Amino acid sequence: MSSISVTGLTKRWGSVTALHGIDFEARAGELVILLGPSGCGKSTTLRIIAGLEEATSGRIRFGDRDVTALPAAQRGIAMVFQSYALYPHLSVRENIVFGLKVRRLPAAQRESRLERAAEILGIGKLLDRRPAELSGGQKQRVALGRAIVAQTPICLMDEPLSNLDAQLRQDMRTEIRALQRRLGMTMLYVTHDQTEAMTMADQVILMRDGRIEQKGRPADLYMRPATGFVARFVGTPPMNLLALEGAALTALESAVPVLGLPPLPRGGHLGVRPESLRLADAGLPALVATVEYLGADSIVLCEVGGQRVAVRVDGATDLAPGNAVRLAWRTEDTHLFGPDGTRLAPERVEVAA
Amino acid sequence: MSRARKPLVLEELGAWLLGLLWVIPLLFAVWAAVHPPEFAARFDPTAPLTLDNFAMAWERAPFPRYFLNTFLLVTLILAGQFIVCTLAAYAFARVRFPGADIVFALVLIQLMITPDVLIVENYRSMAKLGLLDTITGMGLPYVASAFGVFLLRQAFKQVPRELDDAAQIEGASTLGILWRVYVPVARPIYVAYGLVSVSFHWNNFLWPLIVTNSVEKRPLTVGLALFGAAETGVDWSTICAATLISVAPLLIAFLLFQRQFVQSFIRVGIK
Amino acid sequence: MIGTRSRHWVEGWLLVLPALVLLVAFTHWPVIASLIDSLNSTPRRGAAPNFVGLENYQRLVADPVFAKVMWNNAVFAFGTIPTSVVLALLMAVWVNSAIRGRAALRLAYFTPTILPMIAAANIWLFFYTPDYGLLDQITGLFGFGRTNWLGNPDTVLWCIVVMTVWKEAGFFMIFYLAALQAIPPDLTEAASLDGTSRWYFFRRVTLPLIMPTTLFVLVNAVINSFKLVDHIVVMTKGGPDNASSLILYYIYETAFSFWDTAYASALTMVLLVVLALLALVQFGVLERRIHYR
C-alpha cells in the first residue's frame, strides 16, 4: 500500500499553462477520482504521475518515496488506458504477462499471477485469443488483468470505461471498485463522468482549467459545492442556478418571507437542486415550460423571470406547458454563490451526516 | 470485386492479344533454351527437347558463385535497411528532438537523388574506403534508404501512442518497445518493403557492375550481362538458358506468392 | 492531446545517427563532391586537380554528344511514358473486369516487372537480331528484308522504347488496379441506375478519381527514364553513334571508360538539377492532391 502525494504540480507547453499548481493527496488504499470536463488537465495530471510526461515544476511522492525524477518504468505503478492499449499482435495471455516478461519474472511466477488474474476477472477462456477477437468489455477485463498481475500498490486509470456501453459501464463500475478494495490498491482514476465519480470514489478532485475546483468526499461535493461550477457539474439533472438579477431577483425577493431565505447577494447566484424543489401552494411563482416524463419521476422545466428551473417530481404529473405553479424548498437546501462564483459564508444549517 | 462488369467481346480479344504479346518474349526465351541451338529461331513443333543449353550455361559461368553473391548482397542490404531505417523511423515518428525536421528533410532528399545516379563520387568513396570489389561496397550506399525510413515512419505513426505508454509503464526500454511493440505491429509493412527491396536489389545492375571487377564478387545480373556480351560468341540458346537460370529463383517465388508480391508493390508504392 | 514524451532528445539523435551518417556519406557528400569536382580538372597521372571554374560546363554546352543524349532522354521519356501509362490503365481496367482468364492475364502483364532489366535486355536482344531474330522473321513474312534494328541510328532508340514499355507497363498497372478497386462500388451502382454510359462514367468519374495515381505513376516513370540504363549497357552500349545513349549512360561512359571524372561530375550535376526540378514538381503538384502524412 502506498499513498500518493502531489504538491505544486504545474505543466506548461510553451506559453500554454495546462496545470497551475495542483496539490492533493490520495491515502493508501483510497480510490481517488480526478473529475472534470475535457481539457481541464486531469489526464495531464495522471500522465505526469505515471511518468509519461514531465512536470514543469512540483513534486510527486509515493509513500515516502519521491518519484518526481523517475522514469515511468521505475515508479512501480500499473495503468489502464482509455483505449485499453492491448498489443494487437499478442494473445490475451501474452498481453497480460508482457510486463512481467520485460521485468524477467520467472515463468512459474508469471503463470501463477496470470491464473489468479484470469480467475478474478473470469477471462480464463479468452487467454489464447487476440485482442481483435474480443468485445469491448472483454478488452477492458484484459486491461485490468494487466494491471492486476503487475501487483503494484498504485493503479492509475485513464477514463477506463468511456468506450463501453451504458449497461456494461454500470457493471464495471461496481467491479472495479470491488477489485480495488479486494486488492487494496491505491487507485487514481480519471473520468469526465460525474456518475462514476459519485458512485465509486472515496475522494473526488474536481478540476477546471488546470486548477482544482474542489476536493472532498462525493457527498461533500454534492451537498456543499464550493463553486457554482461544482454545483452544476455534480448531480443530474444539474443544480438550478438562478442569476440574482432582473425579474428573477424580484420574484425571489418576493418569496423570501414565505420560504425563509437568507439575504440574497445581488449579482450572484442562488442554487437549488431539482430534487429539493417541490410544487407548493405558496412560494416562488413560475410558469411550466415543458415536462419530461422519465418513469419513476418527471422533470418539470419551469421559467422564473426568464430563467429556467428544473423541478423533479415523483411519477407522472398532469401539469401542462403554460400552467402557473409555485415552487418551494427547505431553507437548508438553498445554496448561495457570490458574483465570483464561490460559495458564500457563513455556512447555513448542516445536513445531518 | 463481386460486381465486376462484363467486358465486350472486342475488349476481351484485345486483352488477350496484349497478354499474348506480353508473354511472347518469355516463351521465346524458354523455346530457345529447351531446344538445340539450330532450332533457337525455328519454330518447328517437332524439334527435339534438350537440357544441354542449361548444362552448357552452368559450365561456362560460375552460377553458384553468382547466386551466392546476389544472395549475400540482398541479405546484407535488407538486414541493414531494416535496422537502420527502423531506428530512424522510430525517432521521426515518436521522439521529439531538436533538428528533427531538418534531418527529415535531409533524408527525403534521397527519395529523389538515389545512389543510382551518384555513381562517380560513390565509386571514388568506395575506392578510398577500400571497398571496391566487395559485397559491402555494393550494398552500403543502399542501406540508409529514405524510402524505408519514410515508409516505416508512416507505419509507426499509426501505432496507437497508448501502446507505447503502456509498454513504458510495464518497464520496457526504448529499444525494447521498438522491438516488442512497433516492429511486430508494423510487420506487414516490413514484409512488403522486404519483397520490394529484394526484387530491386536482386535485379540491380549498374552500380554492382561498376564496383565489382572480379568473378568472385559479381552478382547474377553482372555475371549474366558479361555472359551474354556479344564478343564471347556464346549462342542464343545458351544465353537464354543462362537468363532463365538467373531469373528462376525470383520468378518462382513470384509465381508462388503472386498475391503478396502485387500487394507489396501496391502497399509500398502508394504511401 | 499535445503530449510530448518524457523520452530524452538525445535518444532521438542516437536513433537517426546511423541513417544520417550513411546518407551523408553516400548521398549528400557525393552531391557536394560532384559540384566541387565539376569545377576542377580531372586529375591525371598523379597530378592534383586544379580549379578551372566553369570550364567543364562550357565544354558541356559545346558538346554535341551531350546535346544528343539529352535529346535522346527526352525522346525516350516521351516515347515510353504516355504509352506505358495508357497501356497500364487499359490493362488494369481489363484485369479489374469480369474477363475470362483474369488471373492469367494479370500474371502475363505483370511478369516482365519482376525480371531483371538485364534478363529482359538479353531476351529482347535476341528478338532484334538481324535475320535470325523473331522481329525480322515476322517482318520477313511480309516481304521486308533484313533489318539491323539495333544497328540503325533511326530505329535503335525506338527498339529500346518498345522494350521499356513492355517492361514497365505491368508495374504501373498494379497501381491503377489498386486505385480502381478503391472506387466505392455504390458510385458504379448509382451510375448504372442513372443509365450513365460506361464511357461517360469512365471519363467523368473513374478518371478523376484515379488522377492521384496517374500523377504518381507519371512522376515515377519520368524519374525512371533518367535512372535506368541497364538495358543500354547490354543492348547497345549507347550506339550506334550515341543514337541510344541516355544521360546516365553517358555519365557512366565518361567516368568509367574515358576516366574523365571532372566532366562526368559536371554531367552528374545536370542530372541532379533535372531530378531536383522533378522533385519540385512532385512536391508542388502531387503534395496538394495525394495525402501523404
ipTM of the complex: 0.87
In 3D, which of A305, A328, A309 has the Cα closest to residue A258? Answer: A328
The Cβ-side half-sphere exposure at C56, using a 13 Å CA radius, reads 26
pLDDT over threshold 90, residue B50: no
Residue A290, SS3? strand
Among candidate residues A228, A209, A210, A230, the one with its CA nearest the CA of residue A220: A230
Determine contact: B191 vs chain A, CB below 8 A: no
pLDDT-derived band at A346, boundaries 50, 70, 90: low
C-alpha to C-alpha distance for C154 and C135, rounded to whole angstroms? 16
Question: What is d(CA C140, CA C148) in angstroms, rounded to the nearest whole number?
Answer: 13
* Gap between the Cα atoms of A88 and A78, Å rounded: 19
Residue-level pLDDT at A200: 94
pLDDT score of B269 more than 80: no
Decide: A53 and A11 in contact? Cβ < 8 Å.
yes
| Chain B contact present for A150, CB below 8 A | yes
Q: What is the pLDDT of residues A285-299, one digit of tens each?
A: 999 999 999 988 999
Kindly report the three-state secondary structure assignment for every residue of A105-139.
Answer: CCHHHHHHHHHHHHHHHCCHHHCCCCHHHCCHHHH
CB atoms closer than 10 angstroms to residue A306: 10
Residue C43 per-residue DSSP state: P
**Residue C261, Ramachandran bin (φ over 0: left; ψ between -120 and 50: alpha; else beta):** alpha
Determine whether the interchain pair B170/A89 forms a contact, defined as Cβ–Cβ distance below 8 Å. no
The partner residue sitting opposite B25, judged by closest CB among C9, C110, C124, is C124
Candidates A51, A85, A102; nearest CB to B163: A85
3-state secondary structure C95-143: HCCCCCCHHHHHHHHHHHHHCCHHHHHHHHHHHHCCCCCHHHHHHHHCC
Q: How many residues does chain C have?
A: 293
Cβ-Cβ contacts under 8 Å, C4 against chain A: 13, 53-54
pLDDT-derived band at A345 (thresholds 50, 70, 90) equals low
CB pairs under 8 A between A and B: 64
pLDDT band at A351 (very low <50, low <70, confident <90, very high): very low
Report chain C residues whose CB lies below 8 A from the CB of B167: none
Q: Do C23 and B144 touch (CB under 8 A)?
A: yes
**Which tens digit of pLDDT belongs to each residue from C204-224?**
888 888 888 888 888 888 888
Interface test with A, best of B94, B95, B169 (most A CBs within 10 A): B169
For residue A231, what pLDDT is reported? 94
Whether residue C6 and residue A72 make contact (CB cut-off 8 A), yes or no, is: yes
Q: What is the pLDDT confidence band of residue B47, given thresholds at 50, 70 and 90?
A: confident
Question: What is the pLDDT at residue A30?
Answer: 95
Helix (H, G, I), strand (E, B) or coil at A80: strand
Structure confidence at residue A224 as a pLDDT band (50, 70, 90): very high
pLDDT grade for C3, boundaries at 50, 70 and 90: very low
Distance CA B158, CA A319 (A): 55
Contact list in A for residue B165 (CB cut-off 8 A) is 47, 50, 52, 72, 79, 81, 85
**For residue B233, what pLDDT band results from cuts at 50, 70 and 90?**
low
Q: What is the dihedral of CA B221, B224, B228, B231, to 10 degrees?
A: 90
For residues B151 and C239, give the distance between their C-alpha atoms in angstroms, rounded to a whole number. 39
pLDDT at B48: 80
Average pLDDT of chain C to the nearest whole number: 84
Please give, rounded to a whole number of angstroms, the shortest distance from the CA of B180 to a CA of chain A.
9
pLDDT value for C281: 80
Strand partners, A22: A9
Least-confidence region, from A89-93, B201-205, C42-46: C42-46
* Cis status, amide bond into A237, omega within 30 of 0: yes
Average pLDDT over residues A37-64: 93
- Give C3's contacts in chain A (Cβ within 8 Å): 47, 52-53
* Residue at grid coordinates 462484363: B6
* Cβ–Cβ < 8 Å for C160, C167: no
- The letter for the amino acid at A229 is F
What is d(CA A347, CA A336) in angstroms, rounded to the nearest whole number?
10
Which residue in the block uniquely carries the three cell numbers 551518384?
B118
The answer on pLDDT for A193 being more than 90 is yes
Q: How many other β-carbons are positioned within 10 Å of the β-carbon of residue C156?
A: 25
Q: Which helix (H) or strand (E) holds B234?
A: none
Tell me if chain C has a CB within 8 Å of the CB of A173.
Answer: no
Q: Which is it for the CA torsion B84, B87, B91, B97, positive or negative?
A: negative
Rounded-to-integer distance, Cα A204 and Cα A31, Å = 9
pLDDT greater than 50 at residue C292: no
Looking at the whole model, is its pTM more than 0.95? no
Residue B2 has pLDDT above 90, yes or no: no
Q: Which amino acid does the sequence have at C34? A: S
How many pairs of residues across A and C have Cβ atoms under 8 Å apart?
16
Residue A127 has a pLDDT of: 94
Q: Is the minimum CB–CB distance between B84 and chain C shorter than 8 Å?
A: yes
d(CA A234, CA A220): 10
pLDDT in tens, B92-125: 999 888 889 999 999 988 888 888 899 999 999 9
pLDDT band, very low/low/confident/very high, at C286 (cuts 50, 70, 90): low
Q: What's the pLDDT at A155?
A: 95
Residue A286, C-beta contacts closer than 8 angstroms, at least 6 positions apart = A302, A303, A304, A309, A324, A325, A326, A327
pLDDT of residue B231: 57
Task: Give the pLDDT score at A350.
Answer: 40
> Cβ of A52 and C2 within 8 Å?
no
Nearest-angstrom CA–CA distance, C13 and B104: 12
Please report the pLDDT score of residue C171 as a whole number. 87
Instruction: Report the interhelical angle of A92-102 vs B161-169 (nearest 10°).
Output: 50
| Closest chain B residue to the Cα of A146, Cα to Cα | B170
Asked if A239 contacts A221 with a C-beta cutoff of 8 angstroms, the reply is: no
Residue of A nearest to C6 (CA): A53
